[in-house]
Structure 1
Amino acid sequence: MKNILAEIVAHKQIEVAARKQLRSVAELEQAPMFSRETLSLSGFLRQPGKTGIIAEFKRRSPSKGLINGNVTVQQVTTAYTRYGASGLSVLTDEKFFGGTTDDLLQARSYNQIPILRKDFVVDEYQILEAKAIGADVILLIAECLTADEVKHLSTFAANIGLEVLLEVHSESQLEKVSDHVHLVGVNNRDLTTFQVDFNRSCELAPKIPADKVKVAESGINDPANIVTLYKAGFEGFLIGEHFMRQEDPARAFENFVQELERLKLAQQ
């Protein structure tokens, strides 16, 4: 199977170069959102009474094709917030995921919880852009960055007030965790094949540095999964396709949270 991640990153390099020609760094720094005080996703995930869920807005993916083309950013993200999401994740990659930076701008205008810019960051420019469109957190993917690149990009992000979620898929990638990484996400989906192994999170959880917020990603489609992952030490749970592939993602999220609360009570 072709390496989808390598294809995405190669295209991203070209895309970023083009975006730099359209909007200068000075313009990004003058954007109204650039000077706003950011929200802490790590802080929100640790708030009592919240679900710990980072709920995602995603229209399509390379592995599944079109997931949902019938709902709006406002409909979905405001429902996520209303029913207790601790954070939002918004895909801004257009070619492979059907997202845009405008999707995140809209989500920011309607919601007052932390927002993760979900994209393939390979350049400082994208971090400045994330700040300019109202993101609070950026994603760095260990699979496609060296340890030095993670260190450099995470430091750059922290210096402008953004948190960093470093996504890993194997134990060896944990060596790339640096001081300015705030959250470590274990992606249960192999980004080179897009196969999902839910046990990946539980295997890596004890090996994540204790001072980092642990986030489980992908393959979470049942509230019982969250109960299991919480016991393994995770505080955040990034869920995208499970809600978005429903006809009514807002209702799906509400029902999921109600069942999660029921399970939590049963555990007490």
Structure 2
Amino acid sequence: MNILDNIVADKRKEVDLRKSLIPIKQLEASVLFGRKTHSLAAALRYSDSGIIAEHKRRSPSKSVINQRLNVQDVATGYQSAGVCGMSVLTDGKYFGGSLDDLFLARASCKLPLLRKEFIIDEYQIIEAKASGADVILLIAAILSKAEIKTFSELAKSLHLDVLLEVHNEEELQKSIMPSLDMLGVNNRNLKTFEVSLETSKTLSEQIPDDFVKVSESGISSVNAIKELQPYGYKGFLIGENFMKTDDPGKSAFEFIRELNE
């Protein structure tokens, strides 16, 4: 089993437990469930920078990134920096996140919020809406075409944007459907953890212009973004580069200023 298989196996147990504790009706009664969502796709289309800044404490590939910061400070810092949206890791076992992080980010900023999670059940999408998310992530590597369709259509019915993540051509071809808003190319090879921007470049031509193109992983410099922009990418997910510093908001601000110079 690779790391993704392990994460999914644990996630199924976790979701079963959550479903037994909090029924869907309770989620739908949440104060946040009826709020008007902000579109990340729209923000990216009209942005000069396209930065989606992430809150991430640790990861399987890098171990601890930053355990010291609180989510509120990170969220307000990112908003002041002028990012397009914020990605919040909610997986606990492998990334040190939680749904509480999403709640706190929502209370601290007006940015479009992406629930960064390994979604394998419709329950998690309703949970995302009830926790203040504007966007969900679907990962093609762990879902069938039928699941991608079902999950993305449910998200759209809840006025959530959908970012679909692919790692290769095979995943991309099974995933293209009208219920998606953004197609993200993850530059990290899940088997080796090696990162290459060539993945985004190679797949860019096969992504129809109807979708906002997002590049994920390995974007640690302004040059990387300038390298990818000619390939039609409008969104750039950046996590470790900001989170490994003492002030992610300040780091994001300086990064965007350099990008726009």
The one-letter amino acid of 1:71's match is: L
Q: Distance in 1 between matches of 2:11 and 2:207?
A: 29
Q: Distance in 1 between matches of 2:232 and 2:163?
A: 16
Other-structure match for 1:152: 150
1:145-224 alignment, distance < 5 Å? 145-175=143-173, 176-224=175-223
1:72 pairs with 2:70: yes
Residue ranges of structure 1 left out of the alignment (5+ in a row) = 263-268
Other-structure match for 2:134: 136
Residue ranges of structure 2 left out of the alignment (5+ in a row) = none
Q: CA deviation at 1:183?
A: 0.3
Q: Distance in 2 between matches of 1:211 and 1:119?
A: 24
Q: Distance in 1 between matches of 2:176 and 2:14?
A: 27
1:90 pairs with 2:88: yes
The one-letter amino acid of 1:136's match is: D
- Superposition CA RMSD, Å: 1.0
Q: Distance in 2 between matches of 1:69 and 1:191?
A: 24
User: For 1:123, which of 111, 121, 124 is the aligned residue?
Assistant: 121
TM-score (norm 1): 0.95
Q: Distance in 2 between matches of 1:190 and 1:77?
A: 29
Q: Distance in 2 between matches of 1:86 and 1:201?
A: 20
Q: Distance in 2 between matches of 1:143 and 1:27?
A: 31
Q: Distance in 1 between matches of 2:36 and 2:249?
A: 28
When structure 1 is superposed on structure 2, of 249-258 and 5-14 the one drifting more is 249-258
The higher-RCO structure (CA 8 Å, 6+ apart) is: 2
Other-structure match for 1:114: 112
The total of aligned residue pairs comes to 260
Q: Distance in 2 between matches of 1:108 and 1:32?
A: 12
1:18-97 alignment, distance < 5 Å? 18-48=17-47, 50-97=48-95
Q: Distance in 2 between matches of 1:252 and 1:85?
A: 11
Q: Distance in 1 between matches of 2:20 and 2:254?
A: 45
Identity level (%): 50
Q: CA deviation at 1:258?
A: 1.5
The one-letter amino acid of 2:243's match is: M
TM-score (norm 2): 0.97
Q: CA deviation at 1:198?
A: 1.7
Q: CA deviation at 1:247?
A: 2.6
Q: Distance in 2 between matches of 1:127 and 1:28?
A: 10
Q: Deviations over 1:210-244 (max 9, x none)?
A: 20110000000001111121111001000011111
Are the equivalent residues in 2 in contact too, given 1:4–1:193 (CA < 8 A)?
A: no
